[in-house]
């Protein structure tokens, strides 16, 4: 089935209605397996049981970044290829990506307190994630203040692309800044290579969270399409009342 | 006179008039710097240490506040539509407006900075280098801010939305600006690399800013 | 299951994650049922997306 087939909103809605229950079921199963493996994973030799936070924190980080990538691709779809559902996809990705970035920051902070002794550290990765969250909040603010869905979508698409260009620059400059001000003591997170007994649960949880992202994304897209339908029906109603 | 020069001169003239807000930025800058010792305490050593950072933050905020002036008045009286329909490519028009904006808002910040640096007890020898970093970095702030201004004029909710959109994008400029300034004062790291990257960011924004802003104006106002 | 001396942090992390995901899912579900209900209302009243052809 070509991507072009998904361009028709009605057909898209039908596909989502069929696919979503299976997707949710698969997500639940994966979470069940993943959580079982995660909670029974061995303790890290340095961090003890707190390594279990990694199974939340790392997938959240990956999906937070993935959300912005999705928004950027959707932005190209909106601005360049004029795919009808591209701006719906971008708008749907924003709150979900922001939520995962938030989860990443909070779980990272809770992981940091017992392992590093502090809730927050201006570590290059944490700081870049914080700036990513700010960019997400900016895009959400744009969508929120737009009067017409279409107008806000195009502005947000541009911001998504500008952000995509800027994210590597921000990452680089935060790295630079972080190495200028060396922290007082050197913090290490366990070993650099992850043991398979920890890696497998991590990958299962990552997959589970990814399916969750996709399920939520499709559901939000569905809601957005319904909202636009309602809007055009109301406009039509108002027009005909004046006819 | 060629059209771009005409736009440049027009914007500069408008900015300098009453209500134009040209020197408001510098005034705000002064106020922020004055507030700092009240917040931080009069310890001169501490002020000297954070001086460059406070100057950069003040310049950033002052630039930000003046940004909605860039398109708002033109949008309100319809001249933005005329500019968009004109024969000159919109990217160049927008760049000319941004340049005018920097000359009337950013440049006064740079001129005033050494004085304010003295108030913060920044090392005398370093004041020149610090001013240089501001001179190199404020164009980046204006041209990146241009994008936010274009996005929010289309949505007519300027002000704080503009700040929310622009600030994360200016993080690299702030980082390298302060790094270069600190390097000139006391750093083990040399001034060169950070300053060069700062210049690179400014030059890149000179190109990318107008392109993104034009896209925002076109798509937002269509 | 022994979560060690820092059990509180681990529990808190899982709780926050659960809360955020649940809040997100709840928002999506509530929004969906609200839109369905409005659509049902509009359709009942005979409003369509295509304009009625005049005569």
Q: How many domains does chain A have?
A: 1
Residue A17 belongs to a domain: yes
Q: Which residue has the tokens 């043991």?
A: A195
Please say whether the beta carbons of B59 and B53 come within 8 A. Answer: no
pLDDT at B220: 72
Chains in contact with C, counting 3 or more C-beta pairs less than 8 Å apart as contact: A
CB contact under 8 A, A173 and B154: no
How far, in Å, CA of B103 to CA of B119, rounded? 24
Q: Out of A193-202, B96-105, B193-202, B206-215, which region has the weakest mean confidence (pLDDT)?
A: A193-202
User: Which letter does DSSP use for residue A49 in this model?
Assistant: G
* A-C contacts (CB, under 8 Å): 95
Among A58, A97, A219, the residue to mutate for chain C (most C Cβ within 10 A):
A219
Closest CA to A81 of A131, A7, A19, A172: A7
Residue A185 belongs to a domain: no
What backbone torsions phi and psi does residue A188 show, to the nearest 5 degrees?
-125, 140
pLDDT tens digits, residue range A191-211? 446 777 888 899 999 999 999
The chain-wide mean pLDDT, for chain C, equals 85
Residue A186 belongs to a domain: no
Residue A187 belongs to a domain: no
Q: How far is A232 from chain C (nearest CA, A)?
A: 7
A95 touching C (Cβ < 8 Å) = yes
Cβ neighbors of B28 (< 8 A, separation 6 or more) are B58, B61, B62, B65
**A102, A230, A236: residue with CB nearest C51:** A236
A17 touching C (Cβ < 8 Å) = no
pTM: 0.86
Please say whether the beta carbons of C16 and A110 come within 8 A. Answer: yes
**A49, A57, A110: residue with CB nearest C12:** A110
Q: What is the mean pLDDT of residues B52-80?
A: 88
ipTM for the complex? 0.86
- What are the CA-CA distances from residue A70 to residues A67, A158, B111, C53 (Å)? 5, 13, 44, 40
Q: How far is C3 from chain A (nearest CA, A)?
A: 5
Q: How far is C34 from chain A (nearest CA, A)?
A: 9
Terminal Cα distance for chain C, rounded: 75
């Amino acid at each position: 089935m070509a991507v072009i087939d998904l361009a028709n909103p009605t057909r898209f809605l039908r596909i989502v209605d069929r696919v979503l229950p299976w997707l949710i079921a698969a997500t639940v199963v994966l979470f069940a397996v993943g959580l079982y493996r995660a909670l029974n994973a061995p303790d890290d030799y340095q961090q003890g049981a707190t390594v279990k936070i990694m199974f939340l924190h790392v997938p959240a980080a990956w999906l937070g970044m993935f959300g912005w990538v999705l928004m950027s691709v959707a932005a190209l779809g909106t601005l360049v290829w004029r795919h009808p559902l591209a701006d719906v996809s971008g708008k749907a990705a924003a709150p979900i990506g922001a939520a995962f970035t938030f989860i990443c920051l909070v779980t990272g902070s809770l992981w940091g307190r017992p392992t590093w002794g502090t809730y927050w550290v201006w570590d290059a990765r944490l700081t870049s994630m914080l700036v990513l969250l700010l960019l997400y909040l900016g895009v959400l603010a744009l969508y929120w203040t737009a009067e017409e869905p279409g107008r806000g979508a195009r502005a947000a698409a541009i911001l998504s692309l500008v952000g995509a260009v800027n994210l590597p620059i921000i990452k680089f400059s935060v790295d630079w800044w972080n190495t200028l001000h060396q922290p007082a003591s050197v913090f290490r997170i366990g070993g650099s290579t992850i043991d398979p007994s920890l890696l497998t649960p991590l990958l299962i949880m990552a997959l589970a969270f990814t399916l969750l992202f996709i399920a939520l994304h499709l559901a939000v897209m569905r809601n957005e399409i319904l909202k636009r339908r309602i809007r055009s029906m109301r406009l039509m109603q108002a027009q005909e009342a004046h006819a | 006179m060629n059209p771009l020069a005409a736009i440049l001169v027009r914007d500069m003239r408008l900015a300098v008039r009453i209500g134009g807000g040209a020197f408001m930025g510098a005034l705000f800058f002064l106020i922020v710097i004055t507030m700092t010792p009240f917040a931080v305490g009069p310890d001169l050593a501490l002020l000297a240490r954070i001086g460059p950072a406070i100057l950069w933050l003040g310049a950033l905020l002052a630039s930000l506040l003046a940004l909605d002036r860039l398109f708002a008045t033109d949008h309100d009286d319809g001249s933005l539509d005329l500019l968009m329909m004109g024969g000159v490519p919109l990217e160049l028009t927008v760049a000319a407006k941004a340049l005018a904006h920097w000359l009337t808002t950013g440049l006064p910040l740079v001129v005033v900075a050494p004085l304010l640096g003295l108030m913060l007890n920044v090392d005398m020898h370093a004041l020149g280098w610090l001013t240089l970093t501001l001179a190199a970095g404020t164009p980046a702030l204006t041209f990146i801010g241009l994008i936010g201004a274009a996005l929010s004029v289309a949505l007519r909710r300027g002000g704080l939305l503009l700040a929310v959109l622009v600030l994360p994008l200016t993080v690299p400029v702030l980082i390298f600006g302060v790094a270069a300034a600190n390097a000139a004062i006391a750093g083990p790291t040399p001034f060169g690399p950070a300053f060069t990257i700062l210049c690179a960011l400014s030059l890149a924004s000179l190109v990318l800013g107008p392109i993104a802003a034009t896209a925002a104006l076109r798509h937002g106002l269509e | 299951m022994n979560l060690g001396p820092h059990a509180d942090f681990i529990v808190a992390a899982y709780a926050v994650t659960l809360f955020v995901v649940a809040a997100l899912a709840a928002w999506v579900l509530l929004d969906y049922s609200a839109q369905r209900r409005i659509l049902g209302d509009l359709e009942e009243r005979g409003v369509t997306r295509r304009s009625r052809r005049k005569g």
